[in-house]
């Protein structure tokens, strides 16, 4: 009986160690190793360090070398660029600056036109409007969505944050607003 109990304990211990090691490996998985990086129609050309992006809390992929950015008081937001295809990406980029300013203000940053402690630039890498039966049958493409990249620099030009995030909404404008709300939370929390 003792031999059986010892073997059962040893097998349980091995199973526990094998199963607990897998989440640790998954947690280390960065953007470059993810399915998101393999999307052919979503360019990854705006952020300087895609290999440093890791899973975020509020936004999909983040990199904050200094951690929390609450020590910065003021922020300037520049017009967003777009390297996605079509009218949807251009429209999403047009709306993004106002929404970014709105959500950063709600996170406690003072938004200024220029000369902020932080300078935020952004890019729309994808925007989609469902077409055909997809809207009625469900799935990821059933709602309008947007892919956003945000680069945050301090006043000296040093990168203090990089974010890549996708979001959906009832319209493309709604997806941009929802996505940038989560990006602003990530900037404030630094994760």
pLDDT at site 22: 46
163 in Cβ contact with 149 (< 8 Å): yes
**pTM for this structure?**
0.80
Better pLDDT: 29 or 149: 149
Give 19's pLDDT tier (boundaries 50, 70, 90).
low
> For the residues 117-140, what does the mean pLDDT come to?
76
Q: Is residue 26 scored above 70 in pLDDT?
A: no
Render pLDDT for 87-118 as a digit per residue (tens, 0 to 9).
999 999 999 999 999 999 999 999 999 999 99
| Domain extent listing, the chain | 34-189
79 in Cβ contact with 68 (< 8 Å): no
Q: How many residues does the chain have?
A: 191
Domain 34-189 CATH (choose: 2.60.40, 3.60.90, 4.10.860, 3.40.50): 3.40.50
Burial of 75 (0-12, 13-18, 19+ CB in 10 A): buried
Render pLDDT for 51-101 as a digit per residue (tens, 0 to 9).
999 999 999 999 999 988 989 999 999 999 999 888 999 999 999 999 999
106 in Cβ contact with 148 (< 8 Å): no
For residue 174, give Cα distances in angstroms to 6, 7, 36, 87, 127.
59, 57, 22, 16, 12
């Amino acid at each position: 009986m003792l031999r059986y109990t010892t073997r059962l304990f040893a097998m349980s211990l091995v199973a526990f160690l094998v199963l607990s090691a897998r989440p640790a490996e998954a947690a280390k998985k960065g953007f470059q190793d993810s399915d998101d990086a393999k999307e052919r129609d979503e360019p990854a050309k705006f952020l300087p360090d895609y290999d440093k992006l890791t899973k975020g809390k509020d936004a999909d992929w983040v990199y904050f070398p200094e951690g929390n950015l609450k020590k910065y008081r003021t922020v300037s937001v520049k017009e967003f660029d777009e390297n996605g295809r079509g009218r949807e990406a251009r429209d999403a980029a047009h709306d993004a600056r106002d929404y970014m300013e709105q959500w950063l203000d709600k996170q406690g940053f003072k938004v200024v036109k220029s000369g902020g402690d932080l300078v935020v630039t952004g890019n729309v890498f994808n925007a989609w409007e469902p077409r055909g039966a997809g809207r009625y049958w469900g799935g990821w493409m059933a709602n309008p969505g947007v892919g956003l990249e945000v680069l945050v620099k301090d006043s000296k030009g040093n990168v203090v944050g990089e974010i890549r995030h996708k979001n959906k909404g009832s319209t493309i404008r709604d997806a941009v607003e929802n996505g940038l709300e989560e990006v602003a939370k990530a900037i404030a929390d630094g994760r």
